[in-house]
Amino acid sequence: MGLPRSETDAWIRLASWDADERIPPAMYERLQGHPNYPATIQGFAARVLDISRIDVSFDGICKDVSRYGAAQWVVYLHLTGGLNLPRLKQMCVSSRLLSPGRARALLLYLRYIDFVEPLGRREHGEAAQYRPTAALFAAWIALARAALEAMALVEPATNAAIAKLGERDFLHALLRHMGEGFLQASMALPQDTSFFRVFLHRNAGLQFLYWMIVMARDHGDGFPPRKPIALNISAVAQDLNVSRTHVRRMLRAAEEEGLLLRGEDSRVQFTAELAFDSEFALSTLILGYVISAVKAQRELSLQSVAAIAS
């Protein structure tokens, strides 16, 4: 409603990427079969690492799936009835990603990095209420922009969504749909897997995966990487702000779990299992942002129609 024809056409095209509950196999094939698909995943990984290097708080929520999920859900809860510890605990239990005890620790952590703040005074016996800060919303804008700009290499119509990230109503609707989608995915996916244990639940595990993807790109490889990747443990540790011992432990775990092959010349190579898991995880993440953007725009358009009709 009320959009220029070119923008309307872009949203109509973007709507072809929408999905409910589960992303169909044909949509994965459509994304992964595009000539620009490797550059899409590589570009997203590179952008997230770039922002993490200059923003300590942003870096914090990208360290593992627990912190990412907590940051996702504090915004979702704020936008859907209010943020407090009991509601956050319930989200963690429902997702199976976190224990209720970890929810309290992560809420304190998000307060520590100034992503969450108390919301006024509370009455005796009531749960303390909190709200996300402007800094947390800025972090989600940065993540959404990174994902959508990467996707624009495959679907140029995604630029219509990028242009609306600065609009409060659109951003809030997108983040609500992201929260719902992330919860559904967490509930549906098997979590006791090598990929979860090594790269999602470990501190800086996903960033380490991004680091290898970008390193492979810089040496002319595609995605998933097919060639051995030169690995400098000290450089990885410094770049990801973790210890060299931690990097060695991640490498050892990845090798023991059958995700990486290690050569004698300090090179590592993705196994078929890691290639499959990383494709599925990162494709799902990118598509999740696109799907949420489509749903957000549709929701706002329906609200506009209802307002006109009334």
Return the top range by mean pLDDT from 17-26, 119-128, 133-142. Answer: 133-142
Query: How many residues appear in the chain?
Result: 310
What are 52-60's contacts with CB under 8 Å, separation 24+? 52/207, 53/239, 55/139, 55/142, 56/113, 57/113, 57/114, 57/115, 57/135, 57/139, 58/139, 58/142, 59/241, 60/109, 60/113
What pLDDT, in 10s, does the model give residues 178-220?
A: 999 988 888 877 888 999 999 999 999 999 999 999 999 999 9
Predicted local confidence at residue 122, as pLDDT: 67
User: Does 68 or 265 have the greater pLDDT score?
Assistant: 68
C-alpha closest to that of 3 among 156, 160, 198:
160
Amino acid identity, position 228: P
3-class secondary structure, 125: coil
Q: Give the integer Cα–Cα distance in Å for 71 and 83.
A: 12
C-alpha closest to that of 154 among 289, 304, 281:
289
Mean per-residue pLDDT for 60-66? Answer: 91
Do the Cβ atoms of 172 and 140 come closer than 8 Å? no
Q: Is the pLDDT of residue 56 over 70?
A: yes
Do the Cβ atoms of 163 and 273 come closer than 8 Å? no
Q: Give the integer Cα–Cα distance in Å for 54 and 100.
A: 31
Question: Residue 21 CB: number of other CB atoms within 10 A?
Answer: 9
Strands (DSSP E) found in 202-263: 229-230, 260-262
Predicted local confidence at residue 95, as pLDDT: 85
Q: Give the integer Cα–Cα distance in Å for 129 and 106.
A: 15
C-alpha closest to that of 273 among 261, 258, 287, 292:
258
Q: Is the pLDDT of residue 46 over 60?
A: yes
Predicted local confidence at residue 6, as pLDDT: 74
Q: Could you tell me the pTM of the whole model?
A: 0.92
Do the Cβ atoms of 60 and 240 come closer than 8 Å? no
At residue 120, φ and ψ (nearest 5 deg) are: 65, -170
Q: Give the integer Cα–Cα distance in Å for 152 and 216.
A: 22
